[in-house]
Each structure stands twice: as structure tokens, then as C-alpha cells.
Amino acid sequence: MNGRRRMASVLTAAVLLSILLAGAFEARAQEAAKTQAGTTSVAAPKGESAPPPRPPKERMAVAVLLAWVWVSIAVLIGILRLRVREADRVFRLGLRETGHKGFGGSGE
């Protein structure tokens, strides 16, 4: 039960974080567009490295993709955690068919 709760809280946190990131990213993109519109005549000082303009169609798509990536990562980590626990249990019970040799290789 504890594990499920923990996983649910991790997932919720990941979803919230991804939404926050997506929102922050979109706000930043909008802010940049506003600034660009307001100061088109001001040239960047020589040598300064300005970020290249991004195709507007891609902005939102990438923000959503990023949110989905983090949600998928949270789900996959949850699954991996279950697999790790199972694999550790099998190993602890000695059901695995390999010798327990201790630390290191030939150099030890």
C-alpha cells in the first residue's frame, strides 16, 4: 500500500512539474515574442549570442512533448522499481543460477 501511495505521489509530482515546466516555457515564449515585437529596431550588440528564433508551430508542440516525456519517465521508473524489487527478491532467495563470488574480478 505504501509503495502504491508513494508511486501515486511521484506520478502526481511529475505531472505537476511537467505542467509547470510547460507553462513556464510557454510564458517565456510569449514574453520573447512580445519583446521582439516591441524592440525590432534595436540590434543585438556585436558578439552577443542571441538565441535563434524558433518556429512558432513547434513551441507548443515541444512544451507538450516535454510534459509527456516526464510523465512517461515517471511511469517507466515506477515499472522499473517494481522490476528491481522482484529481481532483488529472486536474487536474495537464491533462485538465480549464478555463483556468488564476491567483489571484483581477476585484479582483486
Partner 1 sequence: MNAFRAWIEERLGLGAVTGFLERKEVPRHGHSFLYYTGSSILLFLGIQIATGVLLAFYYRPTLAEANASVARIATEIPLGWLVRSVHSWSATLMIAMVLVHLLGISFTKAYRKPREATWLTGILLLGVSLAFGFTGYLLPWDELSLAATKVGTDLPRAMPIVGTWLTRLMRAGDDVTGDTLSRFFIAHVSVLPLAILALLGAHLFLVQRHGMSVPLAEEKKGVKGPVLPFWPNFAYREAGVWLILLGTLLTMAVVFAPGLGSQADLMAPAPEGIKPEWYFLFMFQTLKLFPAKVLGLDGELVAVLVMAVGMGLFALLPFIDTRPAERKGRIITALVWAGLAYALGMSIWSLL
Q: What is the DSSP string of 89-108?
A: HHHHTT-S-S----S-STT-
For residue 68, what are the CA distances in angstroms to 25, 55, 62, 75, 99?
14, 20, 10, 10, 42
Toward partner 1, which CB reaches closer, 31 or 58?
58
Which positions touch partner 1 (CB under 8 A)? Answer: 21, 24-25, 28, 46-55, 58, 62-63, 66, 69-70, 73, 76-77, 80-81, 83-84, 87-88, 91, 96, 98-108
Yes or no: say if 49 and 8 are a contact pair by the CB < 8 Å rule: no
- Min separation Cβ 67 and partner 1, Å: 10
Toward partner 1, which CB reaches closer, 5 or 46?
46
Toward partner 1, which CB reaches closer, 8 or 69?
69
Distance CA 67, CA 60 (A): 11
- Min separation Cβ 79 and partner 1, Å: 9
